[in-house]
Amino acid sequence: MKYRRSFIATLSLSAFAGCLSSNDDNGGTPTDTGGTPTDVTETATDADDGTETETEDGDDEAEPEILSEDITTDRTLSGETVYRVTDTLRVEAALTIEPGATLIFEEDTGLEIYGHEDGSIIADGTASEEIVFTASQETPGWWNGIFVWSEARNNRLNHVVVEYGGRNNEANIHLDSSTYLPLTNSTVTNSDGYGLYIDENVTMPDVDSNEYTENERGAVRVTANNLHYLDSESSYTGNTADVVVVEAETVSVEDDNVDSGAVTWHNLGVPYRVNGQIRVEDIEVTVDPGAVFRFEEGTSIQMAPDSALIAEGTPEEEIVFTATDDVPGWWDGIVMSFSESRKNILKHAIVEYGGRDTSGNVHVESGRIKVVDSTLRHSEALGLWSSDDGTVNDDVCAVNEYQDNAEGDCTIET
């Protein structure tokens, strides 16, 4: 990358000059075989470790420009400049960062965008000229990262690299409640926490083709009502924990970030780890084939009135609802509570290790669901239970596979 080449060149020149100063017996400029200072510069741009740099003949690398004061009027950072951030920058105006710019953050500093003070960030790089937010030392958690609390519609991160943050923000990029931010074509890496943290009611109209990797706690942490923003074209692997952590939340069409009555939870190639009850109200949720959900102890997914769960996998890509520990009764299971939608379906799905405070891995009470070609197993109670006012397909006990359920396979109350 450009910023790494620049600093290698600077360090190489400085070290070479220091050696000449201390070792030259004549105390003057070296004249090795008629050479000139320009010849010395050319030699100095080849680092001892073999790293090649791109310093032009005779050009010294400019010192980084220091950024230490809050940004309270609109400002543009040049793509031709390296910036060194020595104190946390609070942005209360429009901050535009040109392609190719590099911002290097000293220890325990950060970048904070506050929209209630008219702050916004426009960092729109290109594939050949990424915008880099990095640390003065390549240590995860060296700086806080980028914190955004802004509804400004000009916010954007595109073709950026954000690395070595997560000190006090829990992530390299932390989007606070009600923030608006598209995030595309970017690399979020080497955080001491998560790569990306999405708080409740955030709006992300365009999230695509990002890489979240080498982050200590996982790729992404997200509230359940923002889960639909995570795209299947991004990469979530190579982290210390390859998971997307889902915070308990009600998913509803009334949420500010849901612009229709339907959302999709995508197959990300890594499991979702659910840390509380997800309650779905007044909205239709479709789960992509191959998606995996791991539920922490005592958690559940509850389908409330006017909601729908459409979980149709395939024989090759089953949808899995399981536990974080392989213990029967670890979580409650899928609860159909007064959800009467005829769209409710589990097909080519696995539901296991539920039945903690429910009557089965799938618990139907005054609700409706069709369950076919699925496996319900390792429940502390039943594989499937339906109340007498619940509605399931007539062959539900015959067309699914039930294994190792403590209280039996399938019961329909009459």
pLDDT above 70 coverage of the chain, percent: 83
What is d(CA 319, CA 263) in angstroms, rounded to the nearest whole number?
A: 17
The string of pLDDT tens digits covering residues 276-301 is: 999 999 999 999 999 999 999 999 99
Question: Given pLDDT bands bounded at 50, 70 and 90, which one contains residue 249?
Answer: confident
Highest mean pLDDT range out of 50-54, 62-66, 330-334?
330-334
What is d(CA 352, CA 306) in angstroms, rounded to the nearest whole number?
A: 26
What is d(CA 120, CA 184) in angstroms, rounded to the nearest whole number?
A: 17
Question: Given pLDDT bands bounded at 50, 70 and 90, which one contains residue 350?
Answer: very high
The string of pLDDT tens digits covering residues 307-347 is: 999 999 999 999 999 999 999 999 999 999 999 999 999 99
Whole-number pLDDT of residue 60: 54
The string of pLDDT tens digits covering residues 84-97 is: 999 999 999 999 99
Of 349 and 201, more confident: 349
Give the tokens for residue 132. 């880099």
Q: What is the per-residue burial (b if ≥16 Cβ within 10 Å, else e) of 168-205?
A: bbbbbbbbbebbbbbbbbbbbbbbbbbbbbbbbbbbbe
Of 69 and 59, more confident: 69
Q: What are phi and psi of 268, to 5 degrees?
A: -95, -5
Q: Which of 336, 294, 345, 292 is nearest to 318 (CA)?
A: 292
The string of pLDDT tens digits covering residues 173-189 is: 999 999 999 999 999 99
What is d(CA 172, CA 170) in angstroms, rounded to the nearest whole number?
A: 7
